[in-house]
Structure 1
Amino acid sequence: MIVLLPPSETKRGGGDGPALALDSLSSPALGDVRAELVDELIALAADPAKSRAALGLSASQDSEIERNAALRSAPTMPAMHRYTGVLYDALDVTSLRGTAASRAAARLMVVSALFGVLRADDPIPAYRLSAGSKLPGRPTLASTWRPALEPVLAELASSDLIVDLRSGSYANLGKVSGAVTVDVIAEHEDGRRTVVSHFNKAHKGRLARALSTSRSDPADAAAVAGIARRAGMRVERRGDHLTIVVAA
């Protein structure tokens, strides 16, 4: 099983790994697109005004542009430690030890607007590029990534069950046929149900932790739902789609 995660806008700074080496990352078939985008972000960083427009930043966020300028020289750390925020707080990989940590490292992957798909231990620097960013002179990042990323994801899906926890914009970077998908719904006392927005990330983070550390290796959506239920989640299944139901 592979659990596909979205990245986070916020990223931990620093690191004690060597500078970015694109040829050391997993999924080497993505190397050409990775190199193009890294070089474009570095060049774009020389013009802060254009960078702000392309990346959706304000002047108070110019430190993000500085990160992009240093993409090839900044220290790295494993991808799963680089990303922060609500989902990654709930996942809390830094608390895992022993076999649980090894399982998580093997099962967790992140789909990034800059690097395509990353293994948990792929060493990357801090950067700023979201799936909705519009780089000058380039079509959408989805149209840039799909031709390269979808064959890689299809190859992964040919040997492993994919549980896709990505948000819509990151799912659009590369579709995965046959993946188990998940949403989160809040149920009110009167029975009404509403979509959970911000906190759906926390519930998906808890699910990712349960799946990535489970002793069992599920082969279908029903088995994924079983792991979630054993972790205390209320889950409904319709085919390959799971709904986590939480109290409003």
Structure 2
Amino acid sequence: MLILLPPSEGKAFPGGGPPLDPASLTLPELTPARESVMAALERVCARPVEQARTVLGLTPRQVEAVQRNRELRTAATLRAAELYTGVLYDALRLPELLAGRSAALVEESVLIFSGLWGVLRPTDAVPPYRLSMGVSLPPLGGLGVFWRSRLGEVLTKLAEGRLVVDCRSTAYATAFRPGPAVAARTVTVRVLRQTVVDGTVRRSVVSHMAKAARGAVAHSLLAAGASPRTPGELATALADLGHRVELTAPARGGGPHVLNVVVPG
């Protein structure tokens, strides 16, 4: 099983580990691409703060992120498991999982996508930063497209023979689009809120609740030591763990299954 996650806008600060060692990160074949993105980000953040903020799509209240990006090579690091905060990661509780019997499964199964690093394992140590996958970073262009050409072959090989549980948001899904062989073993997790209005059942997609539900689904699988090999086994495992799920077959050949996680409104 391979669980694909987005990062979070919120990040813990400061770190307490040694400065960044790019070569130590997972999938070291991505090191040249990471160095290219980091160098481009440093050049943007060397500009006047307001210019850098505009390129990075930051609000006036987020200007401190420009300074953090200037210090990527010297700042203290922390594990990705502690770096990412927010609704999804509060529900996922990676540090708790890494401290328990599920540690090996977490390290083997979880990939966190990043506009700066491409992908990270939970134990990879990186400094606090701010760079969305949706940014067009001079001179590299859109980061989703940049990473797609670097991640495709690497992640296709990593996913060989494994069920892929895709919990990414749209922006991060652009960085890796599974080919037909991997897509056939991929399940996209969608969260639906169900309410009853005047006796009529209604369902809607809500992004904030979706983050928490995806984090809870991933936590349940990892904490239970689950190892589903097919979309059907995944749906059964989650139902046994107390989640209300509905599996939908691909709308067209070669596409992923969709797993609807139904939560009360």
- Bin of the TM-score, shorter chain as denominator length: over 0.9
Distance 2:35 2:89 in 1: 26
Match of 1:124? Answer: 126
Distance 1:59 1:129 in 2: 15
- The answer to whether the aligner puts 1:40 opposite 2:44 as a matched pair is no
- Displacement after TM superposition at 1:106 (Å): 2.4
1:216 aligns with 2:216: no
Q: Report the equivalent of 2:253.
A: none
Residue type of the alignment partner of 1:153:
L
Distance in structure 1 (CA, Å) of the matches to 2:85 and 2:29:
27
The residue number in structure 2 matching 1:6 is: 6
Q: Per-residue deviation at 1:213?
A: 2.3
CA-atom RMSD, angstroms? 1.4
Query: Are 1:73 and 2:74 an aligned pair?
Result: yes
Matches of 1:100 and 1:137 in 2, distance apart?
A: 41
CA shift digits 1:42-99 (9 cap, x unpaired): 1211221221111111333211011100001111111121100000000112233321
Paired residues, number: 248
Does the CA-based 8 Å contact 2:221-2:238 persist in structure 1?
A: yes
Q: Name the TM-score, length of structure 2 as normaliser.
A: 0.89
Q: Deviations over 1:100-155 (max 9, x none)?
A: 23322322110111101111111111100001112233321122111111111101
Task: Say which SS state the counterpart of residue 111 (structure 1) adopts.
Answer: strand
| Aligned-partner SS, 1:219 | coil
Specify the alignment match of 2:100 in structure 1.
Answer: 98
1:194 CA displacement:
1.0
Q: Following superposition of structure 1 onto structure 2, how do residues 88-237 of structure 1 map, counting pairs within 5 Å?
A: 88-96=89-97, 97-176=99-178, 177-178=182-183, 179-189=186-196, 190-237=200-247
Rounded to whole Å, the distance in 1 between the matches of 2:89 and 2:226 is 22
TM-score after normalising by structure 1: 0.95
Return the alpha-carbon distance in structure 1 between the equivalents of residues 61 and 208 of structure 2: 24
* Structure-2 separation of matches of 1:231 and 1:101: 19
SS of residue paired to 2:102: helix
The separation in 1 between residues aligned to 2:33 and 2:176, in whole angstroms, is 14
CA distance in 2, matches of 1:60, 1:32: 32
Aligned AA (1:126): P
Aligned residue number for residue 246 of structure 1: 263
SS of 1:169's equivalent? Answer: helix
Residue range with higher mean Cα deviation, 2-11 or 218-227: 218-227
- Structure 1: runs of 5+ lacking an equivalent: none
